Amino acid sequence: AQTVTQSQPEMSVQEAETVTLSCTYDTSESDYYLFWYKQPPSRQMILVIRQEAYKQQNATENRFSVNFQKAAKSFSLKISDSQLGDAAMYFCAYRSPTSGTYKYIFGTGTRLKVLA
């Protein structure tokens, strides 16, 4: 069975600085999808970034980028030029590509605080 681990329950970053959130996972599958979701106090889970395991290139979305290390089963999220609005709970998630598989496996989350 697949598992997702986020070892940092809480992180802090100064506004305009860079922070990296860690995520490791365990799977025997060779192809899969990885996601970072953000959940601000408004409660809605919002997709931050997505990575397909078959792609070697790391995904980027504006200030957000990932460091995907397939062999190490690591999927960290880097937030550059942190803003107050980035303060939220961040969840790493795994999904199998198998047809008919709908489950997302979430990590326990990292609470990010942004200091003014």
Candidates 77, 106, 62, 93; CA nearest to 11 is 77
Binding mask 43-62 for another protein (x = CB under 8 A): xxxxx--x-x----------
The interface region with another protein, picked from 11-19, 39-47, 66-74, 78-86 by CB under 8 A, is 39-47
Nearer to another protein, 51 or 82 (CB): 51
Candidates 83, 78, 72, 98; CA nearest to 20 is 78
Q: Count the site residues for another protein by CB under 8 A.
A: 24
CA–CA separation, 32 and 45 (whole Å): 21
User: How is residue 97 annotated by DSSP?
Assistant: -
**Residue 86 CB burial class (10 angstroms; 0-12, 13-18, ≥19):** buried
Q: What is the closest distance, in whole angstroms, from the C-beta atom of residue 108 to another protein in the complex?
A: 6
Q: What is the closest distance, in whole angstroms, from the C-beta atom of residue 88 to another protein in the complex?
A: 13
List of residues contacting another protein (CB under 8 A): 33, 35, 37, 42-47, 50, 52, 89, 91, 97, 99-100, 102-104, 106-109, 111
